[in-house]
Structure 1
Amino acid sequence: MTVSLQDRLVTGATGARAEHVESAAPAAARPRRRWLDFGQTLDWRQRLLLGSAGWLVFFAGWYLAANAGLAPDRLFPGPLQVLASLQELFVEKAFLGDVLASVRRILVSFGLAVSVALPLGLLMGAFARVDGVLNPFLGACRYLPAPAFIPLLLMWLGTGDSQKIALLLIGVVFFLSIMLADVTRQVPAAFVETAKTLGGGRRAVLWTVVFRHSLPGYLDTCRQMLAVSWTYLVIAEIVAATDGIGAMMMRAKRFVHVDDIMAGIVTIGLLGLALDALFRVLHRWWFPYLRGGHQ
């Protein structure tokens, strides 16, 4: 059969239009990538870049505000002045001893809080009767302001480290117990029922299923509550303390050394950031199977 020239031209034009539509369709259907959108994931390079930008904006704003003449330099020092003060504290004023004393108090008090709150949270989250007994009491105690216990602690324990560690313990342990119990309750009931069906006793199910399934959540909760412990540090160290970051800040207050006070605040922030990073590293190391969903 002979195909006319007109038919060939029509067929060629139709094919060209079809190829154009097929090549253009994926481009039209492909959603446009937005800088800010829901459900985005970032790699470590993007996180590092964005985090550095946030800190840069903060320090730039601080520098501009300090040099805008809003307050005297003595009362509102800039970041460079605070950095120089921080260097002087470590080199000439034995600030390292104060830092180590504060870190020791934080670690000891938080370790005690975890040793008390973890068994309570595990039992409260796993057994309704234990929760029925303890939850009303612990739920009420977490609304008690920890600084209100300072007069009692001073009379009972004196002015040494025991009083400061006790105050830090009171400020954390009640909240931590309730939060760890909430983590324990998130264990799927199917896991527990399956373990019981396979012959697991109460103790075995509690240890091998409930506790181990809750471990990642426990670690995240402890990371969050450690920040609360740092917020009580200065309160614990401003009363009858001879060492510690809070004691240094109170000494600086007497002589209106605002740069030293701000240097102490920066030090607490950096120490808290370092411990938070340590918790994140431990989470990734101990639970690599959760790496995709943990931030």
Structure 2
Amino acid sequence: MSGFRAAVWDSFDFKQPVAPGIKLMLGVTAWLAFVLAWHFAATGEGTSSPLFPGPLQVLESLRELFFEREFSADVLASLKRIGISFALAVALAVPLGVLMGAFPLVAAFFNPLVSAFRYLPAPAFIPLLLMWLGTGDEQKIALLVLGVVWFLITLVSDVVRQVPTDFIETSKTLGGSRRVILWTVVVPAALPGIVDTCRQMLAVSWTYLVIAEIVAATDGIGAMMMRARRFVYVDDIMAGIVVIGALGLLCDLAFRGVHWLAFPYLRQRGK
């Protein structure tokens, strides 16, 4: 244990890399501390309340939801909405973001629009989306797209702008055309950052899920949580929150895995 403490102390410095074993140990410790604090806060004398269930009650609620109340169908419905909406957002944002980051003239045209829409809250569009698209999945998917696409465009364009100018100038010297330089220099150089940006924005998409599913929804994690609110089943609501967090974490790990496999040269450079 003293060796572990010494290793942690040695890693406690500015921009000092942390060994994978220490990182795993610290992460597990943080989660154990959180669960224990939650348990004692929910079961302590004078604090026990049906409006604040403990982790054991939420775990039992999860068991009932999945094995007795077909909650897996709701989870699959939410996953489908997240997957379709995020794929549409990426298909719109990445090409436009690349062009805006590579060509200032394109950015000068689109930036005023993108910047303005970025400050509009996506839930404000719910009444319009209900009138235009009805109460089906189309409305929910459109809301999820609006929640991330403007930020994704901006972040992708910022990543592309960070491509070293020397790469582009060297390619011009070698006779490369704009199209060739864009596809063989700019996009490959920016692609690791673009994948990482998509990973971060997928987390934002999950934060809009409950908002998208509370309006006229018959399935999905958010719809289950709204049904539980009606009957004051707080443990079910918290179980839904736990599931969203777990699914979001799994999606994040999947993106990290793709990044790790797709860009091995970054590992070789110690990044």
TM band (smaller chain):
over 0.9
CA distance in 1 between counterparts of 2:96 and 2:11 reads 45
User: Which structure has the bigger radius of gyration?
Assistant: 1
Q: Quick one: percent identity of the two aligned structures?
A: 64
- Specify every segment of 5 or more residues in structure 2 that has no aligned partner in the other structure, as ranges: 1-8
Instruction: Report the count of equivalent residues.
Output: 262
CA distance in 2 between counterparts of 1:61 and 1:293 reads 37
RMSD: 1.1
What secondary structure, in the 3-state scheme, does the structure 1 residue paired with 2:51 have? coil
Q: Which residue of 2 aligns with 1:167?
A: 143
Could you tell me how far 1:136 is from its partner in structure 2?
A: 1.0
Q: Which residue of 2 aligns with 1:24?
A: none
User: 1:46 and 1:141, CA in 2 relative to 1: closer, same or farther beyond 3 A?
Assistant: same
Higher mean C-alpha deviation, range 44-53 or range 259-268 = 44-53
Letter in 1 for 2:127: P
Counterpart pick for 2:89 among 102, 108, 113: 113
Could you tell me how far 1:43 is from its partner in structure 2?
A: 2.3
Instruction: Provide, for residues 77-111 of structure 1, a one-character-per-residue CA deviation record: whole Å limited to 9, x for no partner.
Output: 00011001001100001000000000110010000
Q: Are residue 81 (structure 1) and residue 57 (structure 2) matched?
A: yes
Q: Are residue 290 (structure 1) and residue 261 (structure 2) matched?
A: no
Whether the 8 Å CA contact 2:99–2:106 is kept in 1: the answer is yes
Could you tell me how far 1:285 is from its partner in structure 2?
A: 0.5
Q: Are residue 125 (structure 1) and residue 101 (structure 2) matched?
A: yes
What secondary structure, in the 3-state scheme, does the structure 2 residue paired with 1:159 have? coil
Higher mean C-alpha deviation, range 262-271 or range 193-202 = 193-202
Instruction: Provide, for residues 193-213 of structure 1, a one-character-per-residue CA deviation record: whole Å limited to 9, x for no partner.
Output: 111111111101000000010
CA distance in 1 between counterparts of 2:100 and 2:45 reads 56
Instruction: Provide, for residues 5-49 of structure 1, a one-character-per-residue CA deviation record: whole Å limited to 9, x for no partner.
Output: xxxxxxxxxxxxxxxxxxxxxxxxxxxx64622232222211111
Q: Which residue of 2 aligns with 1:246?
A: 222
Q: Are residue 229 (structure 1) and residue 196 (structure 2) matched?
A: no
- Specify every segment of 5 or more residues in structure 1 that has no aligned partner in the other structure, as ranges: 1-32
User: 1:193 and 1:132, CA in 2 relative to 1: closer, same or farther beyond 3 A?
Assistant: same
Q: Which residue of 2 aligns with 1:185?
A: 161
Could you tell me how far 1:124 is from its partner in structure 2?
A: 0.2
Letter in 1 for 2:259: H
